[in-house]
Homo-oligomer: A and B are copies of this chain.
């Protein structure tokens, strides 16, 4: 017998969470540890309690709810995502993954299904990283990637410390922010945030891993001369050199791989005056790819572009590493469970590599992991135009729920 969720209730729960921090344009403004985050956490805690889960909040605010299994010694299956949003983001993003986890335990309750392994659901703290950096912070602390004291001390633009905000909203819990025991598996549903599933005509995405990325920043140092009397051949224009490299970052992915992307997102120009040749320009560059050797090659090529641009324009340059995260490849058994479930439900499922980072990156360091992607219309995310149809939400939620049930095992 196939296991599916109750569609009307899934939609209703999605609509309910979307009212907390909802924007007038149909989006969501629910920054980590804000009043809206507290409100949605209170709501989520009440739902977990009502579903009879054994709840706990860890010292970093990660919220867990456990549904017991037949075998109390078995390693649990963990399912979840995050309820925080980008500034004026969309209502689906990570919230769909938390709602699907909640609907999973509700459905198990309704059907009176006992699993072999315990099933735990989770809402991670601050996945977005827009108010406090870095992104995926709660799962990172939990998985041991970050020191909790260092993360407590992080401040937002107003200088408010994260630890204080956790206290203020009442979610600095009393359980250590670490895996309480061994976990059998972690499953996460998230919207794709890219256009591939829609382009391929797929119903749902079976995520096999997460691309790695390499970030750096380059600064060119030229001469800030008057834009009038300085002949072109006397100029050392830092902005011209930077523009050369921006063109290079646009070209490099097309020379490396079909999934390679490269972006210059940030740029600072000095003195930034209409009448002065720019003497100092700093900009960031970043590349993502499923293959770590492609990241190495992309970085080597952008540095080569910087060197060539500096030489051509006669400017000095320097660069620094900003961050590097290696690609993640999920465990076959979890990926297979997701794929078998989707196929068993009659869905057209496509294997896909995630182009964005997710809490699953950190969970993968703790236990076998996989993800499910819901179709993102036009690939839009992190803005109010983000959209996934209820039918696509339902298919993806059924997929993660069914895979979790398969991994947890039926006791009856």
Question: What residues make up the interface of A, taking CB atoms closer than 8 Å to B?
Answer: 192-196, 211, 213, 215, 224-232, 234, 237, 239-240, 242-244, 246-247, 250, 253-254, 259-267, 269, 272-278, 284, 286, 288, 322, 354-357, 379-383
Is the Cβ of A228 less than 8 Å from the Cβ of B288? yes
- Cross-chain contact of A231 among B226, B227, B261 (Cβ < 8 A): B261
Residues of B within 8 A of A246 (CB): 239-240, 242-243
**This chain's copy number in the assembly:** 2
| A129 nearest CB neighbor, chain B only | B275
Complex Cα spacing A243 to B265, Å: 12
Show 24 A/B contacts (Cβ-Cβ < 8 Å), sorted by A.
A192-B229, A193-B229, A195-B234, A196-B231, A215-B274, A224-B383, A226-B382, A227-B265, A227-B286, A228-B356, A230-B355, A231-B259, A232-B250, A232-B260, A232-B262, A237-B263, A239-B265, A243-B244, A243-B247, A244-B247, A263-B275, A265-B274, A274-B284, A276-B382
Tell me the smallest distance from the CB of A7 to a CB of chain B, in Å.
27
Residues of B within 8 A of A262 (CB): 232
Q: B residues within 8 A CB of A355?
A: 226, 228-231
Chain B, Cβ-Cβ closest to A376 = B229
Contacts of A192 in B (CB 8 A): 229
Closest residue of chain B to A259 (Cβ to Cβ) is B231
In the assembly, what is the distance between CA of A192 and CA of B228, in Å?
A: 11
Residue from B229, B263, B275 in contact with A194 in the complex, judged by beta carbons closer than 8 Å: B229
Assess A261 versus B193: contact at CB under 8 Å? Given A243-B243, A243-B247, A244-B247.
Answer: no
**CA A247 – CA B247 in complex, angstroms?**
9
A159 to B322, alpha carbons, bound, how many Å? 38
Q: How far is the CA of A254 from the CA of B233 in the complex (A)?
A: 10
Q: Are B250 and A228 in contact (CB under 8 A)?
A: no
**A250 touching B254, Cβ below 8 Å:** no
User: Given A226-B193, A246-B243: A274 and B231 within 8 A (CB)?
Assistant: no
Closest to A216 in B: B274
CA–CA, A228 to B242, complex, Å?
Answer: 22
Measured CA separation A284–B356 after assembly (Å): 34
Chain B's closest residue to A252 (CB) is B232
Minimum CB–CB distance from A37 to chain B (whole Å) comes to 20
Residue in B237, B242, B254, B272 whose CB lies within 8 Å of A232? B254
Q: Are B261 and A272 interface neighbours, CB within 8 A?
A: no
Which residues from B are CB-within-8-Å of A224?
A: 382-383
